[in-house]
Amino acid sequence: MEQTKILKKKAVQIRKMVLEMIYRAKSGHTGGSLSCVEILVSLFYGVMRIDPKDPKLPDRDRFVMSKGHSVESYYAVLADLGFFPVSDLESYCQFGSYLTGHPTTKVPGVEVNTGALGHGLAIGVGMAIASKIDSACYKVYVLMGDGELDEGSVWEAAQIAAHYGLDNLIGIVDRNRLQISGDTEQVLRLENLEQKWTAFGWHVIHVDGHDIEQLINTFKGLPVERGKPHLIIAHTIKGKGVSFIENNKDWHHKVPNDEELRMAMMELDEKLKELDADE
Amino acid sequence: MNEKSKMASRHMVAQALMDLAGEDEAIVVVTSDARGSAAITKFFDTFPERAIEVGIAEQSAVGIAAGLALCGKKPFVLGPACFYSARAFEQVKNDVAYTGANVKIIGVSGGVSYGPLGSTHHALHDVAAFRAIPNIDVILPSDANQAYAVVKHLVNRERPAYVRIGRNPIPFVYDEPFFEIAKGYVLRSGADVTIIACGEVVWHALKACEILSKEGIEATLIDMPSIKPIDEETIIKSARNAGRVVTIEEHSVHGGLGEAVSAILGKNFPVPIEILGIPDEFPVTGKQEEVLSHYDLDAVGIAKRVQKFLRRFSHGR
Ligand SMILES: Cc1ncc(C[n+]2csc(CCOP(=O)(O)OP(=O)(O)O)c2C)c(N)n1
Ligand SMILES: [Mg+2]
């Protein structure tokens, strides 16, 4: 599929942008930004109804970045789509910039200010209810971290979403199995995640969170079950794409030094070449 | 004071807990996926049975601490000040302060320590919020030594407390760790103006006094770590001497040290007061030092604002 090929390359390019932003700013959340790249790319380039020229399009699909610390890949995608100039990314986290280190509505395309975990799903519930009230056709996508699910507020919102039968609401969990202090199952056991969400009244689907084709097909096939909110458990690798960052808890908010940036870029350029050769 | 060696207060808070927990078996720490930022990884390794990780769940961390306290433990909850002063606020108000549970909340990375991460991560309202609750002490140590002493003092003070510290290494204001509740410390004396500061901007205020002195202005500088209960006597006495007061805090101009001082002086000895802090806006993006400088909370900015204030209220002098 032609689109998948293009988007696979896009994901690698976004990863390069992410690392450059974090390197320049000397601040950022590397691991979680890299783990959700394919999720963002699939939604923003392949699924959601949005218009970069008209960020406030009334019937646009809504996206809530509940794991706000993964702001770098979010900004990179929005910039690449043309919501704002790519060159602005250079000002990320710099003095006076509108590109703050967590998403804010000063940034075209961002729907709500996030950064404190556990807020996004409730906001998404509100948006999904509004869509129903207006008999509108837009859907609401909320991206959460797996560690984020420790927050009780997530489960309050989950229960409310099911109560209102919000089949236009899609929760996505970036299931990279790490939070700041380490393995999610050691810091605070999450499993059995599927059973929990199912018990809360959600329709649960597992996907490979780095498989763009699978992600797009899954999203496009929603809702599978009318009258139920849907939860996509996207199995991912924290730090995906750079071998020494992958699955390493220290890279949650570590910033690459000169040498690390060079090595990471080399690896990503290799990947691009590989993808080109496949064509 | 020591400009060259710097230390982040969180490391000394953690050290104090380590030192005390060896002898006092009632000490327990509770955290929410924040053991790194609170510098308590070593505590987790040394006292695993007294280190409680609740995951990213600040509200429950405080509730659990209340339960621990009600069963005879001395819990210290450590985590980002922004989340403990906002998300867990109701637990602090009801479960801790209202109930009277002996819980200590250590808010780390307070003020604008997190810099460019933005307002979700800033705690510029915490003093105002906790001051408005009865039955909880509010303390902002000005350096790592004082932070150590605060923890030591609080361990045997059987009532709720909120302590706010920063994230980044800061110069030492004190050579030794000492702290008493409700006590202001006069760091230098001068007759032209009284400056009252708290927390990690005390250092900047100290440097500002040097700049002012070169301009012929001699300031009294009071470090006021204990904002509630506060040292009324020292405030009133100093205001009587200088007749003009400037307060400095890494906090909103609303509801913090400045308004606490204003209320005391308004009632006892009204004088002109200038409150320096973060104005009523979500701060500009930038590193901590850039944000502080932008709002005149660094040495140069403080000196400039004090001079401007003194020019406005120079009559009769
Ligand atoms: C309410 C709240 N508490 C704590 C934090 C600090 N924090 C930022 S990221 C993070 C870990 C998140 O882990 P996870 O949700 O798994 O994210 P990912 O692995 O995708 O980076 C924590 C605790 C926060 N941003 N908000
Ligand atoms: Mg995770």
The whole-chain average pLDDT of chain A stands at 98
Mean pLDDT, residues B21-34 taken together: 98
Does A239 sit in the ligand 1 pocket, CB within 6 Å? Answer: no
pLDDT > 70 fraction of chain B, expressed in percent and rounded: 98
- List chain A residues with CB under 8 Å of B287: 95
The shortest C-alpha distance from B181 to chain A (Å) reads 32
Q: pTM for this structure?
A: 0.97
Question: What pLDDT is recorded for position B1?
Answer: 56
How buried is A78 (Cβ within 10 angstroms: 0-12 exposed, 13-18 middle, 19+ buried)?
buried
Residue B137, pLDDT above cutoff 60: yes
CB-based contact B57 A148, cutoff 8 Å:
no
How many CB atoms are located within 10 Å of the residue A185 CB?
11
Q: Does A151 touch chain B if contact means CB atoms closer than 8 Å?
A: yes
Question: What pLDDT is recorded for position A192?
Answer: 97
The whole-chain average pLDDT of chain B stands at 97
Mean pLDDT, residues A94-115 taken together: 98
Mean pLDDT, residues A243-270 taken together: 98
Ligand 1 atom with least separation from CA of A36: 20
The shortest C-alpha distance from B284 to chain A (Å) reads 6
Give chain A's domains with CATH numbers: 2-278 (3.40.50.970)
The per-residue pLDDT for range A3-60, each reduced to its tens digit, is 999 999 999 999 999 999 999 999 999 999 999 999 999 999 999 999 999 999 999 9
The per-residue pLDDT for range B273-296, each reduced to its tens digit, is 999 999 999 999 999 999 999 999
Question: What pLDDT is recorded for position B247?
Answer: 98
Question: What pLDDT is recorded for position B61?
Answer: 98
The per-residue pLDDT for range A124-157, each reduced to its tens digit, is 999 999 999 999 999 999 999 999 999 999 999 9
DSSP code of B292? Answer: H
Q: Does A180 touch chain B if contact means CB atoms closer than 8 Å?
A: yes
How many CB atoms are located within 10 Å of the residue B47 CB?
18
CB-based contact A27 B53, cutoff 8 Å:
no
Q: Does A179 touch chain B if contact means CB atoms closer than 8 Å?
A: yes
Question: What pLDDT is recorded for position B3?
Answer: 64
For chain A, how are helix, strand and coil distributed in percent, rounded to 5?
Answer: 50, 10, 40
Can you tell me the distance from the alpha carbon of B91 to that of A70, in angstroms, rounded to the nearest whole number?
29
Q: Which two tokens stand for residue A133?
A: 């009230």
Where exactly are the structural domains of chain B?
2-172, 185-311
Give A278's pLDDT tier (boundaries 50, 70, 90): confident
**Closest Cβ opposite residue B118 in set A100, A118, A180:** A100
Chain A nearest-CA residue for B44: A181
Can you tell me the distance from the alpha carbon of A271 to that of A251, in angstroms, rounded to the nearest whole number?
21
pLDDT > 90 fraction of chain A, expressed in percent and rounded: 99
Establish whether domains B2-172 and B185-311 are of one fold: yes
The per-residue pLDDT for range A57-77, each reduced to its tens digit, is 999 999 999 999 999 999 999
Q: How far is the CA of A148 from the centre of ligand 1 (A)?
A: 6
The per-residue pLDDT for range B186-239, each reduced to its tens digit, is 999 999 999 999 999 999 999 999 999 999 999 999 999 999 999 999 999 999
Question: What pLDDT is recorded for position B317?
Answer: 56
CB-based contact A148 B55, cutoff 8 Å:
no
Question: What pLDDT is recorded for position A279?
Answer: 75
CB-based contact A116 B82, cutoff 8 Å:
yes
**Closest Cβ opposite residue A95 in set B33, B34, B286:** B286
Ligand 1 atom with least separation from CA of A32: 21
Does B33 sit in the ligand 1 pocket, CB within 6 Å? Answer: yes
User: What is the CATH architecture of B185-311?
Assistant: 3-Layer(aba) Sandwich (3.40)
Residue B316, pLDDT above cutoff 60: no
Out of 3.60.40.10, 3.40.50.970, 3.30.200.190, 3.30.565.10, the CATH code matching B2-172 is 3.40.50.970
Q: How far is the CA of A67 from the centre of ligand 1 (A)?
A: 7
Q: Are strands B27-31 and B74-80 parallel, antiparallel or unpaired?
A: parallel
